[in-house]
């Protein structure tokens, strides 16, 4: 599915099939949901590369990466940052998973994670920290919204382990 088509789709709901969208990824790759058929996917949306909360979140997913892999699960971090920013962020903290650049907010729109937020007393549009689990058949089976960073990766891993 083309990125321009995604914006015309209604927001995803639990137990719906996730469209076969594409986004540019780090390491010179392109993410396409159908490439991971037969695997569980963790898509975590975060506001901004190299900020304290986003760094902590990425490091917690990094530290649990082998456990996710042992459960047939791939992890992808998504923000509106550029690929160049993502490459630097990934390299600096040795993330073993790819980061996806959603500069046009296509996936952000599909998963309904763009919200109005208060920043220094001003209303700004930004990503609400959120995580989604897609099953091996491409169905959205779990979501967390308004995520608190500390311990979240462990909570996601616990859910994967319960499947």
Q: 91-139, pLDDT tens digit by residue?
A: 999 999 999 999 999 999 999 999 988 878 889 899 999 999 999 999 9
Per domain, the residue ranges of the chain are 3-162
- pLDDT of 7: 44
Among 50, 43, 46, 56, residue whose Cα is nearest residue 88: 50
- pTM of structure: 0.92
- pLDDT of 1: 42
- pLDDT of 117: 83
| Residue tagged active-site, from 12, 41, 43, 54 | 54
Task: Name 75's bridge partners.
Answer: 42
- pLDDT of 154: 98
Which CATH class name applies to 3-162? alpha beta
Residue 108 annotated in active site = no
Mean pLDDT calculated for residue range 19-28: 96
> For residue 46, what are its two tokens?
């975060």
pLDDT exceeds 60 at position 6: no
């Amino acid at each position: 599915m083309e990125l321009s088509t995604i914006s015309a789709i209604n927001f995803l709901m639990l137990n719906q099939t996730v469209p076969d969208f594409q986004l540019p990824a780090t390491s010179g790759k392109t993410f396409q949901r159908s490439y991971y058929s037969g695997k569980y996917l963790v898509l975590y949306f975060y506001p901004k590369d190299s900020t304290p909360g986003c760094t902590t979140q990425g490091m917690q997913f990094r530290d649990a990466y082998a456990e996710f892999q042992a459960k047939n699960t791939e992890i992808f971090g998504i923000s509106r940052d550029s690929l160049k920013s993502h490459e630097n962020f990934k390299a600096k903290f040795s993330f073993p998973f790819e980061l996806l650049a959603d500069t046009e907010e296509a996936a952000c729109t599909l998963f309904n994670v763009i919200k109005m937020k208060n920043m220094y007393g001003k209303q700004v549009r930004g990503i609400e920290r959120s995580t989604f689990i897609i099953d091996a058949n491409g169905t959205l089976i779990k979501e967390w919204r308004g995520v608190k960073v500390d311990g979240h990766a462990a909570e996601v891993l616990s859910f994967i382990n319960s499947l």
